[in-house]
Amino acid sequence: MANKKEYVADEIGVLSPNQMEADELHAGEVGYLSASIRSVADARVGDTITHFAKRAESALPGYSEATPMVFCGLFPLEADQFEELREALGRLQLNDAALKFEPESSSAMGFGFRCGFLGLLHMEIVQERLEREYNLNLIITAPSVVYRVNCSNNETVECSNPSLLPEPGKRRSIEEPYVKIELLTPKDYIGPIMELGQERRGEFKEMNYITENRAKLTYMLPLAEMVGDFFDQLKSRSKGYASMEYSVVGYRVSDLVKLDIQINGEPVEALSTIVHKEKAYTVGRALTQKLKELIPRQMFKIPIQACIGAKVIASEALSAIRKDVLSKCYGGDISRKKKLLKKQAEGKKRMKAIGRVEVPQEAFMAVLKLEKEVL
């Protein structure tokens, strides 16, 4: 059994088509066994079952556990629904062995789960089932992929969350998954679709005409560029006529960086993301501008910065709310007004040093939506 678990088989039999109890099963027969297995993790598809007294030395070849390729965070909108979400994910996993999840906490969204899926369609189906069948209101973070980080000590670390990325001094290179994607489109839309492929760092391979008016384009594309709105853009540029299919082909070394967002000098881990170096400025600029619109103004000036390490690549500033301290001065010596303005400036400086900026929930949701559009 999985993880070398041991169980007593209470009943064995065959299906013909109903369950019929039998004394023994031989090689090549299709049957069932009942052993009071309470955890689905102890009986996965592809496990090798062997006799306790005559154990097999190794599992039969040909089966491997499903590997998630797309990850996202699932957080309940109501904090008291956390246990309901855990129970719902456990039930879904009973008939979906490819679904992986583990607890995750976020300073912005509270407690939730980091979930792994086979692809975007798998993610959307699980999300819909959780909301429709279990009546859960969910916050879904922007989907991400698994990166492989080659460290300086010759270790390889898999990273599905920007917060888990090792420090720049400890890593030699970052690898990202690539997919082979085949796009079927009428010939009238070949130009816009090729433009989309180039924008998403795609590597053009070939183009074949299936019929006189229909072509197949083949690209090698980073999976991270596809898990956002690639399919929506494909349908938009082809007026709904184009279709696609893809398969994962492996990992390649890419020039990737971790983009951090700092608000008033404090990094916000929930808004960190891994992007290609060429797109870092565009993404950072879009995020800082959006946050400037959504964060409420304070009594002190708030800098909003997008950083790569210690280098600031994009910055916006939220101006302070100004209180008119000169309203009670009807005239007199200018030194009195200067004294009041100096006192106000010192107070704002002290407030900025000890003040904390609370980022509202709507800002996180809007930024996550923006990430899906710009990545």
Question: What are the Cα distances from residue 350, in Å, to 295, 298, 300, 326, 343?
Answer: 21, 13, 9, 20, 11
Q: Which domain holds residue 235?
A: 167-254
In this structure, what token pair is assigned to residue 342? Answer: 């100096």
By the 10 Å C-beta count (0-12 exposed, 13-18 middle, 19+ buried), 371 is classed as buried
Among residues 189, 188, 184, 149, the alpha carbon closest in space to that of 169 is found at: 149
Looking at residue 181, the DSSP 8-state letter turns out to be E
Looking at residue 58, the DSSP 8-state letter turns out to be S
Say how far apart CA 355 and CA 207 lie, in whole Å. 58
Q: What's the confidence (pLDDT) of residue 364?
A: 61
Q: Are residues 250 and 295 in the same domain?
A: no
Q: Are residues 278 and 339 in the same domain?
A: yes
Among residues 228, 238, 244, the alpha carbon closest in space to that of 279 is found at: 228
Q: What's the confidence (pLDDT) of residue 152?
A: 86
Q: List the CATH number of the domain containing 311.
A: 3.30.70.2570
Among residues 103, 107, 72, the alpha carbon closest in space to that of 268 is found at: 107
Q: List the CATH number of the domain containing 194.
A: 3.30.70.240
Asked whether 226 and 234 are in contact (CB, 8 A), the reply is no
pLDDT in tens, the chain (375 residues): 446 778 888 888 888 888 888 888 887 788 888 887 776 667 776 777 887 787 877 777 777 677 677 777 888 878 888 899 999 998 888 778 788 888 887 666 778 888 888 877 788 889 889 989 998 888 777 777 888 888 888 888 888 778 778 888 888 889 999 989 999 999 999 999 999 999 888 899 999 999 889 999 999 999 888 876 788 788 889 988 998 888 888 899 888 888 888 887 788 777 788 888 888 888 888 888 888 887 777 766 788 888 888 888 888 888 877 666 666 676 666 776 777 667 766 665 554 544 455 666 566 655 655 655 555
Q: Are residues 235 and 265 in the same domain?
A: no
- Does pTM top 0.85 for this prediction? no
Q: What's the confidence (pLDDT) of residue 372?
A: 53
281: phi then psi, degrees, rounded to nearest 5 = -65, -45
Encode 335-368 in three state secondary structure: HHHHHHHHHHHHHHHHHHHHCCCCCCHHHHHHHH
Q: Write out the H or E segment, with its range, that includes residue 313.
A: strand 311-318
Asked whether 171 and 119 are in contact (CB, 8 A), the reply is no
| CB crowding 286-321: b at 16 or more within 10 Å, else e | bbbebbbeebeebebebebbbbbeeeebbebebeee
- 327 within a domain of the structure (yes/no): yes
Count of structural domains, the chain: 4
Q: What's the confidence (pLDDT) of residue 325?
A: 60
- 153 within a domain of the structure (yes/no): no
